[in-house]
Amino acid sequence: MIETTSSRSETRSKIVDVAARLLREQGPAAVTTRGVAEGAGVQAPTIYRLFGDKDGLLDAVAEHVMATYVSTKAAIVEAASAGDVDPIDDLRAGWEMQIGFGVANPTLFVLLSDPARALRSPATQSGQHVLASRVHRVALTGRLRVSEKRAVDLIHAAGTGAVLTLLSTPPEQRDPQLADDLFDTVLRRIVTDAPERPETSPAASAVAVRAIASQLTMLSDAERQLLTEWLDRAIGAL
């Protein structure tokens, strides 16, 4: 029987779904070539042909689950942008969603926290883009006191650290306030309580202008690029 591109894709998806279910319900030890092959109704060599080895299969599972999760986050951000959701509230909601996902999917979270995997994972990069979109909304309000990149890096680092700390602690000993307190600490560092006037907070004002620089179509591309460079330099020095 000749394998078509469609049948190959269907077989691959079935294997990934089975592996994801086993991982979620029984843990990584259950994700064996034999167990996945039986659950998907395929021969073991099919898994090796499609994924190379168990590690390749786990990569595919992580990417699949993360992509589904990120698409949900992106839809929430889009809805918040279209509505009247406060950007800070939206940022907090995203944080809580990320912490919940990490604690509920420990094996996948640890896999995706590996820098080598993260760099080659489209879903992980998309997740970073969603976070950047949330931070950009805060910048547009004039409340961000650091650069957008700095804010994204701080939130990402704190979130990863919070989840890994919780996962390394027995469930009955976990501090339920740890993640919330950490987010509040980061929030105090990156945002102001209210939009600031230029004379009282030049950094927040510069960040706000930087956020809309790409929309200043009355300037040429070269002028917008130069403005962006000047603002980045000013934000870094303030």
Domain with residue 88: its CATH number is 1.10.357
Q: Are 133 and 16 part of one and the same domain?
A: no
* 171 band by pLDDT with thresholds 50, 70 and 90: very high
* CA–CA distance, 94 with 159 (Å, rounded to integer): 10
Alpha helices (runs of H) in 83-105, residue ranges in sequence order: 87-104
Q: Are 36 and 68 part of one and the same domain?
A: no
pLDDT higher than threshold 80 for residue 118: no
* 89 band by pLDDT with thresholds 50, 70 and 90: very high
pLDDT higher than threshold 50 for residue 215: yes
Read off the pTM. Answer: 0.72
Q: Of all residues in the chain, what percent are helix, strand and coil, respectively (each to 5)?
A: 80, 0, 20
Q: Is residue 205 part of a domain?
A: no
Q: Are 73 and 43 part of one and the same domain?
A: no
Burial 60-85 (b: 16+ CB within 10 A, else e): bbbbbbbbebbeebeebbeebeeeee
Q: Are 14 and 85 part of one and the same domain?
A: no
Tell me what pLDDT residue 199 has.
45
Q: Is residue 6 part of a domain?
A: yes
Tell me what pLDDT residue 70 has.
79
Complete DSSP assignment for 127-141: HHHHHHHHHHHHHHT
Q: Are 87 and 139 part of one and the same domain?
A: yes
Find the largest Cα–Cα distance for the chain.
74
* Count of domains for the chain: 2
* 26 band by pLDDT with thresholds 50, 70 and 90: confident
Tell me what pLDDT residue 194 has.
60
Q: Which of 195, 211, 233 is the last residue of a domain?
A: 195
Tell me what pLDDT residue 143 has.
87
Q: Are 159 and 136 part of one and the same domain?
A: yes
Q: Is residue 106 part of a domain?
A: yes
Tell me what pLDDT residue 221 has.
81
Q: Which domain holds residue 10?
A: 1-52
Tell me what pLDDT residue 5 has.
65
pLDDT higher than threshold 60 for residue 197: no
Q: Are 69 and 130 part of one and the same domain?
A: yes
pLDDT (tens digit per residue) in 135-168: 999 988 888 888 899 999 999 999 999 999 999 9
Q: Are 100 and 123 part of one and the same domain?
A: yes
Distances (CA, A) of 70 to 2, 85, 98, 127, 129: 35, 19, 10, 6, 10
Q: Is residue 220 part of a domain?
A: no
Q: Is residue 225 part of a domain?
A: no
Q: Are 32 and 146 part of one and the same domain?
A: no
Q: Is residue 211 part of a domain?
A: no
Question: What value does the mean pLDDT of the chain take?
Answer: 83
